[in-house]
Structure 1
Amino acid sequence: MEKASLKSERSVAIDCLRAVSIIWVLLYHFVPLQVFNRGTFGVLLFFIISGYCIAFSAESSQSAWHFYAKRLGRLLPALIVCGFLTTLFKRLAPDLVEPGRGLEWVHYAYTIVALPTLNVLQINYKLPDGAYWSLQVEFQFYVFCFLMIALGLKQRLLALLCAVTIFRTVTTSTDFYTSNDFFPFFIAGMSVAALVRGRTREAILGISVAFSVELYHLIFHVKQPSVPIEMYRSLLLWCGTAAAYLAARYDHLLPRAFHPLAFIGVISYPLYLIHQDVGTMILQRAHVGRESTADLLFRAFVLPAFLISIAWLVYALVERRTIKPLTALLANSRAWLCQWQPASAIRASHAAERPGDVARRDFPVG
């Protein structure tokens, strides 16, 4: 018997962890102080949280496509809007764009297709923002879960992820970096979910694999330019796993004073999408340096506050209004299309079906 039922989609404590992650990343990109020089570790904390949440999402999904429809419904609205805004700003003020960060509209448009499909067409393209690299890793994790669910292996998702990660780790050259280097963080998050649900043996296995693979990376000096592998990264994995467990287990004990921080977590996804290149352009336009106290205060407070306001607008006007309808639309795409077919076409289609096909007209609600 599981000790915990499925969690609701919103958890104040988990949202607080998301807030810590995004604030960490913002300070890394904008405040040139030594104390923030490992801000990309905030992305690794995001991966742990993602693993935790995806475990529940997979369990509640009625099918593989239902699972992926929920992922697309969650990620696409903010991605489309924030990618559009970033591209627009770059096209309007190319002189503020860092060298090599310029962008054509066609690259923005293809990003919307390439990320969910893992660039199946193998087209060379530029991401709208430098921070989008983590979405490429996230979608690889989602596609793996999609395939396992499609094969009827949903109940073995964590064990299979562990097995694939171990296999890819020991069969890949230490000089060849892949997204597999980040999978221990997803495994750790899924293990926390298993622990919360009372699957102790499964959780211990997953955590053991996550920590062991990361230790393998450390011992054999695996190359990873996005987030260099070092002892501090392993420490982040251990502390992040513990923090995710505490957030999941003791969410109900969190004082209301943490709710403002949790709000930053709620809008963390659009904030992450819009912050890096747009923030750098704002600093260029405002001629903000890196030395004076006034410059540091602008970078640490004024700029993040402005970016938070943009992210809040994206959340309030787009995300909150479109996530559920888009998810339902994608999960029930055939049923939705049938609503727009002429009645005669629907009758003809039904008449052409064999008797055994009739049962296949019904689709699960998203």
Structure 2
Amino acid sequence: MRFASRGELDGGLVAVQSARRPAPRLRVLDGLRLVAALMVVFYHYVALRGGWGADPARVFPTAGLLARYGWLGVETFFLISGFVICMSTWGRTLGDFVVSRASRIYPAYWVAVLVTAAVITLWPDVRTVKGWDSVLTNLTMLQQGIGVWDVDGVYWTLFIELKFYVLFAIVVATGVTYRKCVAFCGVWTVLSATAPTVDDKLLTLWVMPLFSPYFIAGIAFYLMHRFRPTALLWGIVAVSLLLGLHGIPKRMHDNVDGAAAIWPATLIVVGIFGVMALIALGTFDRVQWGWLTTAGALTYPLYLIHQYIGMTIIHALRGRVAAPLLVAGVALAMLGAAWLLHHCVERPLGRRMRNALRRGMEEMRRHSAGPAAVPAGLPVRQEPRAYEKAEPDRVG
């Protein structure tokens, strides 16, 4: 009879800890995503002059003091994205990742681009279309990379998100593991810290020094949640927080007109990191309110359509409806439009796109497997059924 060694017992314990029971859905993340979206909506509707045609400080002398920091909702999105992307790619192939992301971000985006372009073409009070060739280019979501004007002001953040997907795809392609995620965070942090001093535009374009700390911290927070907190992971989070705070003055300069205190932005960022730490530690695991999932589903379509369409409505009604009531009404209208976009476009079109892309990935895998994978005498076009039985769908 052979007894297990201490090393085998420790290894088994680590395996058990790593393969924890399926965790309940982190619904609090859905709620936090909506909060981040509403922060951005509040900033656009209250702190910017676009819809009001006047200094917003005169329209909202008190609310404007808080709304001017609503752009930090973008940083919150990036922090959540690092957490969620790391979580959703665990155990998946690169093909799964590509199919999942493309079918998630493009359907609602395509409709939002066309609807926004139509609105600002018919009512060019806040923004005008700079040619429909630019609108068509926007449908790729790559317009930032080739210097083409964004149909809506929020779309610049989508290109940042796409670049994160490309970078993390390197990890996904080799198989997502704890060690690879930590290495990825370390290398990206080093590159982000050195990019501003080497004055390399290509490096800066890809490592994104202003925003990388949020993605990196999100990945570290997920590793804490999946496994357990360690000094190494807390160190990654701490360095990311400090680098994120270092970029706040630049972000303030880009988003706030006139003099404004930096300390509120610092407190907001620290607070957001604190909330994510509590999520990572499992503090909110028991929060399972169903409406939070609905809130999370509305976040992306709301983000896509709210800015120029909402500002155009505000501009049209600004002299006939009290400003606070108008902002609240337009925000609710945009939430309603987001619900329609989610149910009528995002879900059905996303499902069809996912199925089509999955079939394309299966076809590519089948024809890349080599002759040995095809039984002798079997016509090539009969392979998909055999492949489907041997290679079950792994795209969620």
* TM band (smaller chain): 0.7 to 0.9
1: CA distance between counterparts of 2:157 and 2:275?
A: 21
Structure 1 residue 105: Cα displacement:
2.6
DSSP 3-state at the match of 2:44: helix
Amino acid aligned to 2:295: I
- Counterpart position of 2:323: 295
Determine if the alignment matches structure 1 residue 180 to structure 2 residue 209: yes
Structure 1 residues 261, 26: CA separation in 2 closer, same or farther (over 3 Å shift)? Answer: farther
Whether the 8 Å CA contact 2:188–2:212 is kept in 1: the answer is: no
- Counterpart position of 2:9: none
2: CA distance between counterparts of 1:222 and 1:158?
A: 28
Residue number among 222, 240, 244 corresponding to 1:210 in the alignment: 240
Measured against aligned partners, the alpha-carbon deviations of 1:14-54 in whole angstroms (never above 9, x if no partner) come to 11111211111111111242121100011111111111101
Structure 1 residues 157, 240: CA separation in 2 closer, same or farther (over 3 Å shift)? Answer: same
Give the structure-2-normalised TM-score: 0.74
Structure 1 residue 183: Cα displacement:
1.0
2: CA distance between counterparts of 1:168 and 1:255?
A: 37
1: CA distance between counterparts of 2:273 and 2:19?
A: 19
Structure 1 residues 216, 4: CA separation in 2 closer, same or farther (over 3 Å shift)? Answer: farther
- Counterpart position of 2:358: 331
Moved more, 265-274 or 196-205: 196-205
Structure 1 residues 184, 149: CA separation in 2 closer, same or farther (over 3 Å shift)? Answer: same
1: CA distance between counterparts of 2:371 and 2:291?
A: 57
Structure 1 residue 82: Cα displacement:
1.0
2: CA distance between counterparts of 1:226 and 1:57?
A: 32
Determine if the alignment matches structure 1 residue 356 to structure 2 residue 386: no
- Counterpart position of 1:136: 159
- Counterpart position of 1:2: 18
Structure 1 residues 354, 52: CA separation in 2 closer, same or farther (over 3 Å shift)? Answer: closer
Determine if the alignment matches structure 1 residue 253 to structure 2 residue 286: yes
Determine if the alignment matches structure 1 residue 39 to structure 2 residue 62: no
Amino acid aligned to 1:318: V
Residue number among 17, 40, 43 corresponding to 2:32 in the alignment: 17
- Counterpart position of 1:243: 275
Matches within 5 A, 1:45-60: 45-60=76-91
Structure 1 residue 112: Cα displacement:
2.6
Residue number among 298, 311, 314 corresponding to 1:267 in the alignment: 298
Determine if the alignment matches structure 1 residue 163 to structure 2 residue 163: no
Structure 1 residues 222, 35: CA separation in 2 closer, same or farther (over 3 Å shift)? Answer: closer
Whether the 8 Å CA contact 2:36–2:74 is kept in 1: the answer is: yes
Structure 1 residue 185: Cα displacement:
0.9
Measured against aligned partners, the alpha-carbon deviations of 1:147-185 in whole angstroms (never above 9, x if no partner) come to 232245654124313322322322314998753211111
Structure 1 residues 234, 331: CA separation in 2 closer, same or farther (over 3 Å shift)? Answer: farther
Matches within 5 A, 1:186-205: 186-201=215-230, 202-205=232-235
1: CA distance between counterparts of 2:98 and 2:370?
A: 30
Structure 1 residue 233: Cα displacement:
4.0
Structure 1 residues 60, 227: CA separation in 2 closer, same or farther (over 3 Å shift)? Answer: farther
Whether the 8 Å CA contact 2:95–2:361 is kept in 1: the answer is: no
Determine if the alignment matches structure 1 residue 108 to structure 2 residue 135: yes
- Counterpart position of 1:77: 107
DSSP 3-state at the match of 1:253: coil
Amino acid aligned to 1:123: I
Amino acid aligned to 2:371: P
- Counterpart position of 2:57: none
Aligned length: 338
Structure 1 residue 316: Cα displacement:
0.9
Residue number among 344, 347, 361 corresponding to 1:320 in the alignment: 347
Q: What value does the CA root-mean-square deviation take over the aligned residues?
A: 3.4
Amino acid aligned to 2:326: F
DSSP 3-state at the match of 1:141: helix
2: CA distance between counterparts of 1:191 and 1:145?
A: 13
Structure 1 residue 330: Cα displacement:
1.8
2: CA distance between counterparts of 1:4 and 1:246?
A: 19
Moved more, 146-155 or 196-205: 146-155
Runs of 5+ unmatched residues, structure 1:
339-345
Amino acid aligned to 1:239: G
Structure 1 residue 131: Cα displacement:
0.9
1: CA distance between counterparts of 2:357 and 2:32?
A: 29
Structure 1 residues 186, 123: CA separation in 2 closer, same or farther (over 3 Å shift)? Answer: closer
DSSP 3-state at the match of 2:90: helix
- Counterpart position of 1:91: 121
Whether the 8 Å CA contact 1:2–1:199 is kept in 2: the answer is: no
- Counterpart position of 2:54: none
2: CA distance between counterparts of 1:43 and 1:24?
A: 9
Structure 1 residue 279: Cα displacement:
0.7
Whether the 8 Å CA contact 1:64–1:149 is kept in 2: the answer is: yes
Identity of aligned residues (%): 25
Moved more, 192-201 or 39-48: 192-201
Structure 1 residue 310: Cα displacement:
0.6
